[in-house]
């Protein structure tokens, strides 16, 4: 889709308006309820704390650590999920054997599993990566399975009539056809990866945005910093999601 600058601006206005409305509503709640900054800091207080925490380097190292955990965990989980999703789609026996375990693993609260993983893998980066991988695995594997299964059987017959090899069928037909569905899974997965990293950090870590949340709340009693960290997390989620959408646009286009 090609948008003129004017049309793009028109597209930005509603979002800007909604943001302004949200901030105003927030401010009104603070005024009406009279909550102190310890309970609910006003938007300008949070904004000021956010700027300060970035300026004095409070947030950046924590963000970098969390980002590394997300990148590794999402990369690992997504890769495994893509392969598993394909196998589940094409081997009915594999689906019957594996799907109960996959569903059970998904149904288990990640919050309950995190301490166990910390016990096994120590307090380093490994348990966070594993938790991220676990949490992103399910939506991506299922989206891949559904996408591959929905590839038009008539196109598969066409490829067969053209003597495509197994590998050619995967690369030129099945994966391109399943991409829109796969990206649906990746979009969900990448936002969950942020959750996974924070949960992993809560189970024991010395750095990361999850650690900063705990510090701000538990030892520093700095609620505006807690809000500034949450804001950072929200922005991180939006940026990562946006990145996935950008890659999707590049690969899938406007079809």
Residue numbers at the binding site for another protein (CB under 8 A): 152, 154-155, 157-165, 168, 172-173, 176-177, 252-253, 255
Nearby residues of 153 by Cβ (< 8 Å), 6 or more positions away: none
Calculate the CA dihedral of residues 244, 81, 146, 178 and round it to 10 degrees.
50
Q: CB of 181: closest distance to another protein in angstroms?
A: 13
Q: How many CB atoms lie within 10 A of CB 142?
A: 22
Residue closer to another protein, measured from CB, 114 or 186: 186
Residue 169 DSSP class: I
Q: Provide the minimum distance between the beta carbon of 153 and another protein in the complex, in angstroms, as a whole number.
A: 11
Least CB distance from residue 48 to another protein, whole Å? 49
As measured in angstroms, the least distance from the Cβ of 92 to another protein is 16
Q: In terms of CB distance, is 103 or 162 closer to another protein? A: 162
Provide the b/e sequence for 185-215 (b: ≥16 CB within 10 Å). bbbbbbbbbbbbbbbbbbbbbebbbbbbbbb
Shortest CB 31 distance to another protein, Å: 53
Shortest distance (Å) from residue 176 CB to another protein: 5
| Gap between the Cα atoms of 160 and 137, Å rounded | 31
Helix pair 126-149, 92-107: axis angle to 10 deg: 140
- Are the C-beta atoms of residues 179 and 247 closer than 8 Å to each other? no
From the CB of 160, what's the least distance to another protein, in Å? 6
Nearer to another protein, 9 or 252 (CB): 252
Q: Is 54 exposed, middle or buried (0-12, 13-18, 19+ CB in 10 A)?
A: middle
Nearer to another protein, 151 or 192 (CB): 151
Q: Which is nearer to another protein, 30 or 151 (CB)?
A: 151
Say which residue the tokens 């900063």 belong to.
Answer: 212
Report whether 240 contacts 190 (CB < 8 A).
Answer: yes
Where on the phi/psi map is residue 72: left (φ > 0), alpha (ψ -120 to 50), or beta?
A: alpha
Decide whether 108 or 162 has the Cβ nearer to another protein: 162
């Amino acid at each position: 889709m090609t948008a003129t600058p004017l049309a793009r601006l028109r597209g930005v206005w509603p979002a800007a308006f909604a943001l302004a409305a949200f901030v105003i509503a927030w401010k009104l709640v603070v005024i009406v309820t009279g909550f102190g900054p310890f309970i609910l800091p006003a938007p300008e207080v949070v904004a000021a704390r956010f700027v300060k925490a970035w300026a004095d380097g409070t947030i950046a190292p924590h963000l970098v650590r969390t980002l590394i955990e997300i990148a590794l965990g999402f990369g690992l989980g997504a890769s495994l999920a893509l392969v598993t999703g394909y196998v589940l789609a094409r081997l009915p026996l594999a689906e019957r054997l594996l799907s109960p375990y996959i569903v059970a693993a998904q149904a288990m609260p990640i919050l309950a599993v995190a301490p166990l993983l910390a016990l096994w893998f120590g307090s380093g980066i490994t348990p966070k990566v594993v938790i991220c991988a676990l949490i992103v695995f399910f939506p991506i594997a299922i989206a891949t399975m559904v996408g591959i299964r929905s590839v038009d059987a008539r196109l598969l017959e066409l490829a067969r009539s053209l003597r495509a090899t197994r590998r050619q069928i995967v690369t030129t037909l099945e994966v391109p056809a399943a991409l829109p569905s796969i990206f649906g899974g990746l979009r969900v997965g990448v936002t969950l990866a942020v959750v996974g990293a924070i949960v992993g950090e809560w189970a024991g870590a010395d750095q990361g945005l999850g650690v900063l949340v705990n510090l701000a709340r538990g030892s520093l009693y700095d609620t505006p910093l807690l809000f500034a960290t949450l804001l950072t997390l929200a922005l991180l989620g939006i940026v990562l999601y946006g990145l996935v959408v950008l890659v999707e646009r590049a690969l899938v286009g406007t079809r």
